[in-house]
């Protein structure tokens, strides 16, 4: 396994809608999954989408325990949210592609997501709380959205100004 480079905002791949995975049993895809899991745990993070490591595929890995309970690792291939419920909840989010920034984001409290697992089995998952939020965050990446797209325009403008200054200093 290998650690992958996490692409940082404003990398263009983060603004490109990811392509569907066609062959879930492809050896290169399985290796990518292993590398993404290792990269997510090393970062450390709770989720990682393929575009964040420079690969335009509808694939993400999620473990809200950050590796403390590996049985809670989800590999979602071609995920689609099929239902949301429970109203909306607001909570602070961050992103491995925008390190050091955290904002309050409103998300559906509960969801049902349909996806293919790494063994090629189509399945559905009901999620709430942090897992629901993480799934929505990662699917946003697959749809070329970042969590900063879900904050108010004033906060977004302030973020962009501050981020541009940081990039200029780097």
Question: Is 138 known to be catalytic?
Answer: yes
C-alpha closest to that of 43 among 52, 31, 56? 52
Does the N-terminal peptide bond of residue 10 adopt cis geometry, omega within 30 degrees of 0?
yes
3-state secondary structure the chain: CCCCCCCCCCCHHHHCCCECCCCCCCHHHHHHHHHHHHHHHHCCCCEEEHHHHCCCECEEEECCCCCCCHHHCEEEEEEEEEEEEEEEEEEEECCCCCCCCCEEEEEEEEEEEEEECCCCCEEEEEEEHHHHHHHHHHHHHHCCCCHHHHCCHHHHHHHHHHHHHHHHHC
Catalytic residue of the set 89, 93, 138, 166: 138
Q: Which residues are designated catalytic?
A: 138
């Amino acid at each position: 396994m290998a650690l992958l480079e996490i692409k940082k905002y404003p990398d263009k791949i983060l603004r490109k809608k990811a392509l569907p995975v066609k062959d879930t049993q492809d050896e290169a895809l399985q290796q990518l999954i292993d590398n993404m899991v290792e990269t997510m745990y090393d970062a450390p993070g709770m989720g990682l989408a393929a575009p964040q490591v420079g690969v335009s595929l509808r694939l993400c890995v999620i473990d809200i325990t950050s590796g403390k309970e590996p049985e809670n690792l989800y590999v979602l291939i071609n995920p689609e949210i099929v239902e949301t419920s429970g109203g909306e909840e607001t909570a602070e989010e961050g992103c491995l592609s925008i390190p050091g920034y955290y904002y309050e984001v409103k998300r559906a409290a509960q969801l049902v997501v349909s996806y293919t697992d790494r063994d090629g089995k189509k399945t559905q998952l009901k999620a709430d709380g942090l897992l629901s939020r993480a799934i929505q965050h990662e699917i946003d990446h697959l749809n070329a959205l970042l969590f900063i797209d879900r904050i108010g325009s004033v906060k977004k403008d302030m973020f962009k100004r501050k981020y541009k200054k940081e990039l200029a200093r780097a």
